[in-house]
Amino acid sequence: MRNQMAKIIAVCSSEKKGQRKKAIKEGILKEEYGLVGDAHADSGWHRQVSMLSQTSIDKIRALGADVGPGDFAENLTIEGMELFTLPIGTRFSVGQDIILEMTQIGKECHDRCAIFKQVGTCVMPAEGIFTRVIKGGVVRAGDELKLA
């Protein structure tokens, strides 16, 4: 299982919490902080970087919603790995330098998001994952993501 690989297809950021994130060319993942410039980055907490698989997004697209990377407020959209099936504590390497550690699977949605209101469900509460940044670096779409 260690040699399982995936690819980052989007790096997304937003200045405010509670809104969809926009794709950016590249981002800086800062150790024990998160994605520099993103509203959810914060030292001292375990949900520094959020990740979601493209297959999860495709489930909502199949229900008729026009959604894509960043629309679920995830920082990294991944292709080629079912993230939510992995255990808490799983470590990922991204590109040459970055190490992320999974800290949480899903989260409670306090307010039903626009996606839920449109199609009656949302994947982020069950299939999105959260990580903390063990070792930082520059992250870009196209970077390889591997189990560390």
Q: DSSP string spanning 66-79?
A: ---TTTT--SEEEE
What sign for the dihedral angle of Cα 41, 47, 98, 138? Answer: negative
Looking at domain 8-142, its CATH superfamily turns out to be PK beta-barrel domain-like (2.40.33.20)
Tens-level pLDDT at each residue, the chain (148 residues):
456 789 999 999 999 887 788 999 999 999 999 999 999 898 888 989 999 999 988 887 887 878 889 888 889 999 999 999 999 999 999 998 999 999 999 766 555 555 555 555 555 667 889 999 999 999 999 999 999 8
| Cβ atoms of 51 and 123 closer than 8 Å | no
| Cβ atoms of 56 and 105 closer than 8 Å | no
pTM higher than 0.75: yes
Q: What is the pLDDT of residue 53?
A: 92
Enter the DSSP assignment of 40: T
